[in-house]
Amino acid sequence: MATDSLRSVTANAVFRQKQPGTEPTQMVAPTSAQIRYPLNTHDAWALSVEVLQNALGAEVFEQELHDNEQALLVAHRGQLLIVTIPGLSHESKERLIRMLFTQYIRHGWAAVTLDSELNVRFSKSLEEEARPDEVSKAEPLAARLARITDVRNLYDGSAYAPLHGWRDDEEVITALRELITETLDGVAEDVPDEVYPLHDSVGAAVTIGYDEHGEPHPLVWVRADLPSGLRADLWGYCAALAVSFDRVDVEPDENGVYYVGTERSPVTGPGLPLLAAVTLQRLGRRPENCAFPLFPSSHQAEAVPPLAA
Q: What is the pLDDT of residue 11?
A: 56
* Contacts (Cβ under 8 Å, ≥6 apart) of 103: 73, 109, 112, 120, 122
Q: What is the pLDDT of residue 178?
A: 97
Rg (CA), the chain: 22
Task: Assign 3-class secondary structure to 192-212.
Answer: CHHHCCCCCCEEEEEEEEECC
Contact (CB, 8 A) for 174 and 292: no
Segment (H or E) for 43: helix 43-46
pLDDT at residue 270, as a whole number: 95
Rounded Cα–Cα distance for residues 147 and 144 (Å)? 5
Count other C-beta atoms under 10 Å from residue 84's C-beta: 22
Residue 138 CA, distance from chain mean position: 32
For 51, which DSSP code? Answer: H
**Residues ≥6 apart with Cβ < 8 Å to 231:** 169, 173, 222, 223, 224
Of 8, 84, 5, 14, which is closest to residue 253 (Cα–Cα)? 14
CA separation (Å) from 114 to 47, 122, 246? 21, 9, 28
pLDDT in tens for each of the 309 residues of the chain? 444 555 545 556 666 544 444 454 444 444 443 577 889 999 999 999 999 999 999 999 999 998 899 999 998 777 899 999 999 999 999 999 999 999 999 988 889 999 999 999 988 776 544 333 443 344 444 666 777 888 999 999 999 999 999 999 999 999 999 999 999 999 999 998 777 777 888 999 999 988 888 888 999 999 999 999 999 999 999 999 999 888 887 788 888 889 999 999 999 999 999 999 999 999 999 999 999 999 876 665 555 455 545
> 266 and 291 in contact (C-beta within 8 Å)?
yes
The pTM assigned to this predicted structure is 0.83
Rounded-to-integer distance, Cα 37 and Cα 34, Å? 10
pLDDT value for 37 = 86
Q: Where are the alpha helices (DSSP H) in 111-189?
A: 132-137, 143-147, 169-178
Residue 192 is predicted with a pLDDT of 86
Q: Residue 272 and residue 31: Cα distance in Å, rounded?
A: 29
Order across the sheet with 294-295: list the strands. 187-190, 216-222, 202-210, 258-261, 294-295
Query: What pLDDT does 14 receive?
Result: 64
Which of 67, 157, 195 shows the shortest CA–CA distance to 121? 67
Contact 47, 102 (CB under 8 A): no
Helix (H) or strand (E) holding 52: helix 49-56
Note the pLDDT of residue 138.
42
